[in-house]
Amino acid sequence: MSATPSRRAGLTARAAALVSATALAATACTSGTADPQAEGGGDWEPVTIDHAFGSTEIDAEPERIVTVGWSDEAVLLAMGIVPVGMAASTYAGDEEGYLPWDLEKIEELGGDKPEMINTDDGLPVEDIAALEPDLILGVQSGMEEGEYEQLSGVAPTVPYLDQPWMTPWQDEVRTIGEAVGRPDEADTVVADTQSYLDGLVEEHPELDGATFAAGTLMPDTGELGFYINGDPRNALLEQLGLTPAPFLEDIDAEENAFYGTMSQEKAEDIDADVLVMWFNSPEDRESLEGSGVFGRVRAVEDGGFIGYDDHVQSMAISSPNPLSIPWVMDDVADDLSEAAEGKA
């Protein structure tokens, strides 16, 4: 299977995208016109957002928003809001850390690129504070409680709702919509995205009921990592009609982890109709595919295995959002269809 979607150009034009780069003068809220203007000044009712660390009250309409979650910026952009700062994607972004769906959406809105924030080693509170935000969003993040407390001293901060990195995209959209005073727009974004996914379900009835497992090759240990139930990747595949393979119930995950591991020697225990694996490099993929024990996995033998080594595609699925879902899922659904029919 090709790691690069064959209809990517069409998807991006249709779905549009977002992200940020170097402009501190970026206006937080845009109207989607060629000259975005802040939309403050209207009546604002205080909003309280409940989350993993308690609750956050937002007393005034946000006009300078910083996002530190994987896809919070995409949610804002889908509602016509360009943040002043956002987390850089050093894994899948361009040389500045921008993801393609973000850049496309920013261009569509006519906004300035947000300032990029490197969060690889934690959340840089001073860098975030320098952007003078009046709202900080980390709804799809692994923000630690100490970081939350520090950031709350800068501006109202909304971390993940329950488990780190495992906020369902629908809840992410609605939470952010509430935080910025656009709950109706958030509902529309959710409905439109769900309608797109419902269309894929209608196009691919062969996926209904097929069992699946999604995982990766752990770079440090060589173990197989499998995403557990509730992980956004698994949830997205379930929305297409697939069913988590029973063996996933036996995968142990550490507290607050979104995956568990299995040694390659136990690979034959993988019992799923469809097996989807993401790899950090073509070399990692070739190494596992050349393994004798992996070749005896039922899905591999039966034509149900899909391997991806494209970082951008992996990111689009790893943190699904209203921009990345239509950007990537047409081709992924086709791949899944072939795997479900034993033709991968």
CATH number at residue 53: 3.40.50.1980
Q: In terms of domains, do 71 and 26 share one?
A: yes
Q: In terms of domains, do 126 and 266 share one?
A: no
Q: Specify if 304 maps to a domain.
A: yes
Domain containing 246 equals 196-340
CB of 82 closer than 8 Å to CB of 112:
yes
Q: In terms of domains, do 140 and 241 share one?
A: no
Q: In terms of domains, do 180 and 33 share one?
A: yes
Q: In terms of domains, do 183 and 35 share one?
A: yes
Q: Is 0.95 surpassed by the pTM of this model? A: no
The residue count of the chain comes to 344
Distances (CA, A) of 70 to 26, 141, 232, 245, 280: 20, 6, 12, 27, 18
**188, 215, 233: which is the final residue of a domain?**
188
Distances (CA, A) of 195 to 78, 123, 146, 200, 330: 15, 35, 39, 9, 13
Q: In terms of domains, do 206 and 110 share one?
A: no
Nearest alpha carbon to residue 134 among 47, 75, 71: 47
Q: Which two tokens stand for residue 23?
A: 């402009």
Q: In terms of domains, do 292 and 314 share one?
A: yes
Q: In terms of domains, do 207 and 329 share one?
A: yes
Looking up tokens 């206006």 gives: 27
Q: In terms of domains, do 89 and 131 share one?
A: yes
Q: Specify if 287 maps to a domain.
A: yes
Q: Which two tokens stand for residue 306?
A: 């899909």
| Domains: count for the chain | 2
**155, 188, 221: which is the final residue of a domain?**
188
CA distance 195 to 28: 28
Q: Quick one: DSSP state of residue 113?
A: P
**138, 162, 188: which is the final residue of a domain?**
188
Output the tens digit of pLDDT for each of the chain's 344 residues: 333 333 333 333 223 222 222 222 222 333 322 233 334 446 899 999 999 999 999 999 999 999 999 999 999 999 999 999 999 999 999 999 999 999 999 999 999 999 999 999 999 999 999 999 999 999 999 999 999 999 999 999 999 999 999 999 999 999 999 999 999 999 999 999 999 999 999 999 999 999 999 999 998 899 999 999 889 999 999 999 999 999 999 888 888 788 999 999 999 899 999 999 999 999 999 999 998 899 999 999 999 999 999 999 999 999 999 999 999 999 999 999 999 999 99
Q: In terms of domains, do 29 and 145 share one?
A: yes
Q: Specify if 3 maps to a domain.
A: no
Q: Which two tokens stand for residue 46?
A: 């205080």
